[in-house]
Structure 1
Amino acid sequence: MLVKEAYTHTRNYGCRIRKYTCNDIRMVSIENKYLKAAFALDKGADLVELLYKPKDIDCMWHSFNELQNSLTQPTVSAKAGNFMDGYAGGWQDLFPTYGAPTSFHGGEIGVHGEACIYPWECDILTDTPECVSLKLFLRLRRSPFTMEKIVTLKENSAKLQINEKITNVGTTEQQFMWGQHPAFGWPFIDEHTRLHINGKPTVTVFQSQCVQQCPFEKETIGIWPLLPDKKGNMIDMSKAYAHEDQLYMEYAISQLEEGQYELINETSGLGLRMTWDLNRFPYLWVWGMYCGHNDYPWYGRAYTMAVEPWSSMPANYSVASENGTTLSLQANASMETEISVELFTNAINSK
């Protein structure tokens, strides 16, 4: 006769939750038999592990910077902020600004905003073998916002559902930028990985990104996925490149047909599908770092492809405010959005 457990919160089957520490950082993970997702609560609630268990492949990039407590003191405070000192890869929320450091109504905000720097709190909403759900939340310090995201994983599913909400707790209307910063890494990313986007969106390489080991020498605009490089050769922007190619590429994708893309490794057959609200995030920013940037902070060590839904363009709060691509919230108002990321296999011939 089978006896059902009286206590299931410590189970190691079905959907489950674990709270633990790593290098003095509070962590929380949710998992089932297909997927494990781990969040670094004390480091912006970054998603630092997205493990597809059947193939033992973690899709997230793990930087040469080990995940470490943000209280570690740098050699000297950087004018651009502390993001780079603590960046260990993974997936960050970029808010209320991203890209260049900026002044936000007199408050100095560093590279990629506030949300990815501060500790978050965590409440357990659902904890059953059939479904687990967490509420992650924080209050920002130099801007008048609160943020929360509810992450949910269901039994027999390889899809992580994320529901985010921001609230303006100030007394005046606020403009802001909002972005997702998921950086994917080896072995999911290699020269056999392709980015699939429906339609024929516009691709823009900005002049500011035409630096060393970039195949473009001036601002270049074209139709996805091919752009001419400095020698007139057509570069396939949809593919990841090998370590030995030593390339560096960053570019924007606009005029998207839908809020969805797929990254597919044609060798392993593992695919990742991300969906989002195109009204909130009408742009994609692609960061292709294939061991191709030899100066600070990468020094030729970074191998990653990040495909990031963004609200505004370019990655500069002042410029985005002037060109009208920032979002805005009235006092005491909230804004919500949904994002999902799903892993799937046998994806070689799906496109």
Structure 2
Amino acid sequence: MRNNRLMHYAEGYPGGWQEILPNRAFFDGGRQEVGREVEGESAGVPWAYAVEEDGGSRVTLRCWVTLPFTPLTVEKTLSLAAGESVLRIDERVVNVGRDDVHFIWTHHPAFGSPLVSEGAEVLLPKGSRAFNVLRYERDREAPAASFEEPVEAVSLPSGRKKNLRMVERPVPNGEACYMPLKDLEEGLAGICQPALNVKLLLEWDHLTFPSLRYWSSNDNEWYTVALEPSTSWYSDIGDCMRHGNCISLAPQEERRFWLNVRVEQP
């Protein structure tokens, strides 16, 4: 049903994993836009679903929804096989409107303690370069390459440098970090926690989602690391369209995406 619109996916944010679709969008011939204040309606509307079991060897959850505002239909399949430590996610998005839809699509898995703690290592895709989008949005006329930074020394708003591969200890009044990554040579990221003898990995189609959005906070009350596969390293849909950094679907055109969550020993 398309009659209720979510205002924002993070209203009453509970942590966990949200699918932010759309993260931003532009459609109806430019007359409609999903901006910063109204993003992620897919995370706040009810989905239809069906559970299927294959003789005890595999369980599959099929979910589908038509978004109430943005003219997109989403189908998602999550499957888990007996004896495997991999959750497989396959998705299909279709433009069910009468005009082109331009949008950013992001998954938002946020991880906390005990997986996230001092001594854990954040695993980033090969080739990753940080794109300081906050600095970019203050000076869009500068060359885009001037906003790229090494993941081992990104610039935070406070002026402090941060190594994205390290998990910092929690402190009172800690600092948040938001830093999209680009130039990925693979879709593979995760968190390795030696204290638990656990490595959690995200594997995804990096040709469809060529960015990983990194978000962390080392505040005592908000201690988390989020690794967010995304279609874009820009935040504004206008920037995405200018730089060819978003998904654009014609009426009835579709886009597919896959993502796996794997747990193994280091």
TM-score (norm 2): 0.84
**Structure 1 pair 323/108, CA: closer, same or farther in 2 (3 Å)?**
closer
CA distance in 2, matches of 1:116, 1:156: 30
Deviation at 1:319, TM superposition (A): 2.3
2: distance between equivalents of 1:147 and 1:326? 17
More displaced 10-residue stretch of structure 1: 157-166 or 236-245: 236-245
Q: Is the 8 A contact 1:290 1:304 kept in 2?
A: yes
Aligned pairs for 1:39-118 (under 5 A) are 81-98=7-24, 104-105=27-28, 106-107=31-32, 109=34, 110-118=37-45
Q: Is the aligned partner of 1:197 residue 2:124?
A: yes
Q: Which residue of 2 aligns with 1:302?
A: 222
Distance 1:220 1:322, change over 3 A: closer
Deviations 1:68-101 (A, max 9, x none): xxx9xxxxxxxx9343323211111111234xxx
Q: Is the 8 A contact 1:170 1:331 kept in 2?
A: yes
Contact residue 96 and residue 178 of structure 1 kept, 8 A = yes
Distance 1:306 1:233 in 2: 20
1:273 correspondence with 2:201: yes
Q: CA deviation at 1:324?
A: 1.8
Give, in angstroms, the shift of residue 233 of structure 1.
Answer: 7.0
Q: Which residue matches 1:294?
A: none
Of 228, 231, 236 in structure 2, the residue corresponding to residue 311 of structure 1 is 231
CA contact (8 A) 1:163 1:338 kept: yes
Shift of the alpha carbon at 1:314? 1.4
The answer as to whether partners of 1:96 and 1:114 remain within 8 angstroms in 2 is yes
Shift of 1:192: 1.6
The whole-number CA distance in structure 2 between the counterparts of 1:108 and 1:323 is 18
Q: Is the 8 A contact 2:213 2:233 kept in 1?
A: no
Task: Compare CA radii of gyration and give the structure with the larger one.
Answer: 1
Return the offset for 1:127. Answer: 4.6
Structure 2 runs not aligned, ≥5 long: 138-145
Distance 1:222 1:289, change over 3 A: same
TM-aligned CA distance change 1:125 to 1:334, over 3 Å: farther
- What's the counterpart of residue 18 of structure 1? none
CA drift at 1:313? 2.6
Gaps of 5+ in 1: 1-70, 72-79, 211-218, 292-299
Q: Is the 8 A contact 1:248 1:288 kept in 2?
A: yes
Q: Does residue 243 of structure 1 match 2:170?
A: yes
Aligned-pair distance for 1:111?
3.9
SS at match of 2:23: coil
The aligned counterpart of 2:242 is 322
Q: Could you tell me which residue of structure 1 aligns to residue 99 of structure 2? A: 172
Paired residues in the alignment total: 249
SS of the aligned residue for 1:142 comes to coil
Are the structure 2 counterparts of residues 289 and 111 from structure 1 closer, same or farther at C-alpha, using a change threshold of 3 Å? farther
Which of 132, 140, 151 does residue 78 from structure 2 map onto?
151
**Contact 2:19 2:106 (C-alpha < 8 Å) held by counterparts:** yes
Conserved? CA contact 1:195–1:263, under 8 Å? yes
- In structure 2, the residue corresponding to 1:96 is in which secondary structure? strand
In angstroms, what is the RMSD of aligned CA positions?
2.7
Mark the CA change 1:171 to 1:272 in structure 2 (over 3 Å): closer, same or farther.
same
Alignment partners' CA distance in 2, 1:196 and 1:281: 17
Does the residue aligned with 1:272 lie in a helix, a strand or coil?
strand
Residues 119 and 229 of structure 1: CA distance in aligned 2, closer, same or farther (over 3 Å): closer
Instruction: Note if contact 2:9-2:20 (Cα within 8 Å) is conserved in structure 1.
Output: no
CA distance in 2, matches of 1:258, 1:81: 33
CA 1:208–1:223: 2 relative to 1, 3 Å: closer
State how far apart, in whole Å, the 2-side matches of 1:222 and 1:320 are. Answer: 20
Distance 1:93 1:320 in 2: 19
SS at match of 1:207: helix
Residue identity over aligned pairs, in percent, reads: 24
Aligned pair in 2 of structure 1 residues 260, 308: CA closer, same or farther (>3 Å)?
same
SS in 1 for 2:242: helix
Q: CA shift at 1:145, angstroms? A: 1.0
Contact 2:23–2:39 (8 Å) recurs in 1 = yes
Which residue of structure 2 lines up, in the alignment, with residue 257 of structure 1?
Answer: 185
Q: Which amino acid is 2:73 matched to?
A: T
Q: CA deviation at 1:257?
A: 1.2
CA distance in 2, matches of 1:170, 1:231: 43
